[in-house]
Amino acid sequence: MERFIVELQVANHCGVLNRITGLYAKRKYNIDSLTVHETGDPTLSVMRIVSRGDTAIQRQMARQLRKLFDVKNVALLSNSGQ
């Protein structure tokens, strides 16, 4: 299993983090690291989630995250060298 990073641009209000981490929990995927910060626009935040999985898992998580209402953008980032 390789490590991968999902970067999300999300609405900045309460409950968003719970819905996103709940999605991982329902699928029994572990989150190795999670960082969140506000953007220049106070209505948006950026999340970076590091977890492990093969290419199929990476694509599945990206597809599932895109379905959430509060998620505005999803990007799979390379985690080369770590």
Q: Tell whether pTM > 0.75.
A: yes
For CA atoms 21, 8, 48, 4, the dihedral sign is positive
Q: Say if residue 82's pLDDT is above 80.
A: no
Q: Which pLDDT belongs to residue 53?
A: 94
Query: Over the stretch 3-60, which tens digit does the pLDDT of each residue have?
Result: 999 999 999 999 999 999 999 999 999 999 999 999 999 999 999 999 999 999 999 9
CA distances from 65 to 16, 37, 40, 47 (A): 11, 18, 23, 12
* Between 81 and 78, the higher pLDDT residue: 78
Please say whether the beta carbons of 19 and 68 come within 8 A.
Answer: yes
CA distances from 4 to 14, 33, 44, 47 (A): 26, 10, 23, 13
